[in-house]
Amino acid sequence: MANKRPLRILLSGPRGFCAGVDRAIRVVEEAIRRFGAPVYVRHEIVHNRTVVEALEAQGAVFVEELDEVPPDAHVVFSAHGVPKSVPQEAERRHLHYYDATCPLVSKVHREAERHFGDGGPEQRHILMIGHAGHPEVVGTMGQLPPGAVTLVQDAEEAELVQPAPGPLAFITQTTLSVDDTAEIVQVLRTRFPGIEGPKREDICYATTNRQAAVKAVAPDCDLVIVIGSPNSSNSQRLREVAERAGAKRAVLVPRARDLDWTLMDGVETLGLSAGASAPEALVQEMITHLAERYTLGIEERRVTEEDVIFKLPAPLS
């Protein structure tokens, strides 16, 4: 394209895959390598269609429930975690199962169990900060008996929730907005001074780092593009954080082919990030498409380095 106009790109870093996502993908790939296709995966292993389609090409078959899995098959549980009823059902049906739950989500499961205890006098009712219907929330609440956990989705619900009298604790989904969660926690601590919680909210390091990285570029941007799937909680939160941090506009785009190019009208500085379940290849794909239309000047603003690696679960390690 002749006479391409200049475009400044601010790349936020860290961005893209986190250790939990990387581990979950490796679980599926290793299961296929060891046992051959098909390997069944309950729910999307992570919330990204590009990742899901790549694994399908290797022999993964994605299902929503175990009743879609044939007897004696190999099945992987997604990174978001599952209720206790799911592995129990897998055992009942004699399925070979491998748990790809992110270790940081598993940590929240253990916190919930610790607060609940054995149901004795020290048992605490748990308030879970999170989004209704998200598989991580479903999995975490499913660690305990019905009624043991009450979901709180925002500060307004935190102001109104009326748990039964007695000791309380709170836990949080790992992929929430850091700022929104702090506001909700403040409301809960004000209303219930004795409530117990983690030393730090359960929002994972990767979510925290990616939000901080977006905040570092957003004030200088006419538009921020977050690459990620619409059903990805951490990707949606990045878009929200970008707008609140001062970007004139922020959009969530699954990949370059989905971008509405009219959004680029008048954009001189573009911020670019990716949710924790979006591969770096999609970022580079976006840059390639931008380079066809603009003369790019690219600057990366990296707020921290990440070196976290999670081992595969014992049956596959």
Which residues belong to the active site? 136
Neighbours of 115 (CB within 10 A): 22
- The string of DSSP letters for 144-197 reads S-TTSEEEE-SHHHHHH--PPSS-EEEEE-TTS-HHHHHHHHHHHHHH-TT-B-
Write the single-letter amino acid at 22.
Answer: D
- Locate the DSSP E strands across the chain: 5-13, 39-42, 60-63, 74-77, 96-99, 125-129, 149-152, 168-172, 223-227, 250-253, 269-274, 294-302
The owner of tokens 């990045």 is: 238
Q: 78, exposed or middle or buried, with CB in 10 Å at 0-12, 13-18, 19+?
A: buried
Among the listed residues 76, 91, 85, the one whose alpha carbon sits nearest the alpha carbon of residue 43: 76
